[in-house]
Structure 1
Amino acid sequence: MSQLLDKIRSTPLLWLVIFVPIVLVVELAKPEAHTLLFLLSVLAIVPLAAMLSLATEAVAEKTGDAAGGLINATLGNLTELVIALTALAAGQYALVKASIAGAIVTNALFMLGASFLLGGLRHHVQDFNRIGARFQASLLFIATVALLVPSAVATADHVANPAAIQRLSLMLAVLLIAGYVLGLYFSLGTHREAFSSAEHEEHGEALPIGIALATLAAVTVLVALVSHIFVASVEVAGAALGLTPAFVGFIVVSLVGGAAEFASAFSAARKDRLDLSVSIALGSAAQIALFVGPLLVLLSYVIGPTPMGLDFWPGAIVMMLIAAISAAMLTNGGHSTWFLGVLVLMVYAIFGLTLYVLPPAQ
């Protein structure tokens, strides 16, 4: 514990952790102060993301970057899952679907591109395990196809049978979760040796594994609580600013909800551990598409006012498909530079600007 406290004292960014209890108290005392809660929640998420980054790097030192990336992606996606569950229970399905699509695109493009950029600015050329990256990109592509089928078929064939689309969504959800479990068994079990990390230098002393795991668990809970406050406040702020639920879910919620993963991925890239960055980015996107999205469909039968399907608006279909294809193409070589990161971020910026200027019909 003393090592963790020493890191907090020596890192000014972590001093912002004081805003965590502040935002929780303000939320209880003044729940109607949405602007204040929005600002405080952002300030609270930043140090929590940095602490999660430190803990994840310590776990990755013991488990390898493939398993470390999976752990970080899972814990980071728990935040987004809590956000989606809150909206699901309220019947805000537009926000839920926008957050699913936005998380896939944000992780596959923004997180990956920013990791390439930040790592490339410090290191001339970076290498990563091409096999692991192609595996995650392939999972993401297959999952994206499954997410797109209900919408594409219903639109192209003019199917006006919501019950049939819902039944198809339920079957696809079960199929995707089964595929995700088998993918874990393949990458961490039968073919684990193929997913070993590229060579990298050791950088400093990591936290003991016990403290790292305890920190991961505690910080994940705090991030989920603060993110819940953030979403509740940003919806009101978004309405006041004229932002649609699609833009809020696709861009704002996905960026803030993924802050912890971003911190870990960016820090690893700067330390020339691009394997961990790529594993977090693509692993998180694939996990959203293969597990979180389908799980929300199943849970909608329990906590939602009505069952939710996997049908998305046409713009989301195009963006998810382009993101999956881009991730597969960009990670095929096993090398990256800073300019490659710029190109990926430009694609993400194009999506964000398009969604802001041309929001989907409500």
Structure 2
Amino acid sequence: MSLLLEEIRHNRVLWLLVFIPAVFAVKGIEPEAHTLLFVLALLAIVPLATLLSHATESVASKTGDTVGGLLNATLGNLTELIIALTALRAGQYTLVKASVAGAIVTNTLFLLGASFLLGGLRYHIQDYNRTNARFQTSLLFLATVALLIPSAVAAPDFVEGATFMHQLSVGLSVLLIVAYGLGLVSSLKTHRELFGSTEELVSDDAPWPMGLALSTLAGVTVLVALVSEVFVESVQQAAVAFGMTPAFVGFIVVALVGGAAEMASAFSGARKNRLDLSVGIALGSAAQIALFVAPMLVLVSYVLGPTPMDLQFWPGAVIMVLISTMTVLTVTSSGHSTWFVGVLLVMVYLIFAMTLYLLPPRIQ
């Protein structure tokens, strides 16, 4: 605990932790102050993401970057899952689907691209495990196919169209979860030698003891989830005040805030020339959302949702996910990265963001 207090004392970013009780205080006193709650939630997530980054790096230093990336992606995606479950219980399926698709695009383009850019500004050329990157993007492509099929076969003149779509979505969800589980067996057990880091580099910062790191991971993840719930409740009303469209909020803002913890770890890893950790977080998180989180939400909707949710996303979201997947498949073929590769990925992401901000697609 003394190490944690020492870290808070010397890291000015962690002084923003005071905004965590402020969020809950304002929530209790003035629950309708949506714009203020929105800003406070954003400020509260920043130090939590920093703590999560340090704790994850401490675990990764003992488990390796492959497991460390998987751990960070899992804990980071827990926030997205809780956000989605909150919207699911309220029957806000448009927000659920937009946040899921947005999280996939944000991780593959912005998170990975910014990691390449930040690392490339410090190192001339960075290497990473090409096998792991191609493996994760292959899983992501499989999920993209599963998202594309429901939209491709949907037609209003189908007899029992709704029943067919729900049955297809459940079947696809089961297949995706099985594929994700088998992928974990392959990367962590049967062929784990193929997915190690390209080189072993020691971090400048002394890692925390495993007990402190794991307890910090658990506690911070819970706090991120709680603050994110306040964020979700206030974001729609705050968006109006800031002139943001609903599509932009679900696809961009919610995805960026939900992935704040992963971004902190990925960016830190890239700046320390641990690009395997950054790639593992970015692509592993995207694959996990597409192959596990989204299918699980479909299955859970039969229990928590007012009506079952399907995998039929609006065409604009499917196209953006497909383009993101194909872009990453292209740029990760060499196993090398420079800062300009990161610029290309971020530019594609900014094209999507600008389009959604100015002309949001119609969501069915």
TM-score (norm 1): 0.97
1:239-263 residue CA offsets vs partner (Å, 9 max, x unmatched): 4445343221100100000000000
Most deviating of 51-60 and 350-359: 350-359
- Tell me which residue corresponds to 2:150: 150
1:96-146 residue CA offsets vs partner (Å, 9 max, x unmatched): 000010000000000000000000011111000111111011101111111
Matched, 1:190 2:190: yes
**For residues 117 and 186 of structure 1, what CA distance do their matches in structure 2 show?**
30
Q: Match for 1:13: what amino acid?
A: V
**For residues 355 and 171 of structure 1, what CA distance do their matches in structure 2 show?**
31
1:273-327 residue CA offsets vs partner (Å, 9 max, x unmatched): 0000000000000000000000000011001110000001111111000111111
Equivalences for residues 244-323 of structure 1 within 5 A: 244-323=245-324
Q: Match for 1:295: what amino acid?
A: M
**For residues 60 and 263 of structure 1, what CA distance do their matches in structure 2 show?**
14
**For residues 101 and 246 of structure 1, what CA distance do their matches in structure 2 show?**
11
**For residues 298 and 245 of structure 2, what CA distance do their matches in structure 1 show?**
22
Q: Match for 2:114: what amino acid?
A: A
CA RMSD of aligned residues (A): 1.2
Equivalences for residues 118-157 of structure 1 within 5 A: 118-154=118-154
Matched, 1:10 2:10: yes
> In the TM superposition, what is the alpha-carbon distance from 1:268 to its structure 2 partner?
0.4
> In the TM superposition, what is the alpha-carbon distance from 1:238 to its structure 2 partner?
1.8
Matched, 1:58 2:58: yes
Deviating 4+ runs (over 2 angstroms): 157-160, 239-246
Q: Match for 1:68: what amino acid?
A: G
Matched, 1:215 2:216: yes
Q: Match for 1:183: what amino acid?
A: G
Gap regions ≥5 residues in structure 1: none
Question: Is the CA contact 2:198–2:276 (under 8 Å) kept in the aligned structure 1?
Answer: yes
Equivalences for residues 225-240 of structure 1 within 5 A: 225-240=226-241
Question: Is the CA contact 2:38–2:235 (under 8 Å) kept in the aligned structure 1?
Answer: yes
Q: Match for 2:107: what amino acid?
A: N
1:7-64 residue CA offsets vs partner (Å, 9 max, x unmatched): 1111111111111111112111111111111111111000000000000000101111
TM-score (norm 2): 0.97
**For residues 359 and 33 of structure 2, what CA distance do their matches in structure 1 show?**
30
Matched, 1:345 2:346: yes
- Tell me which residue corresponds to 2:102: 102
- The DSSP-based 3-state class of the residue aligned with 2:362 is coil
Gap regions ≥5 residues in structure 2: none
**For residues 226 and 13 of structure 1, what CA distance do their matches in structure 2 show?**
17
Question: Is the CA contact 1:115–1:341 (under 8 Å) kept in the aligned structure 2?
Answer: yes
Question: Is the CA contact 1:150–1:311 (under 8 Å) kept in the aligned structure 2?
Answer: yes
**For residues 360 and 303 of structure 1, what CA distance do their matches in structure 2 show?**
28
Most deviating of 50-59 and 1-10: 1-10
Q: Match for 2:324: what amino acid?
A: A
Of all paired residues, the percent bearing the same amino acid is 67
Matched, 1:163 2:138: no
- Call closer, same or farther: CA 1:352–1:158 in 2, change over 3 Å: farther
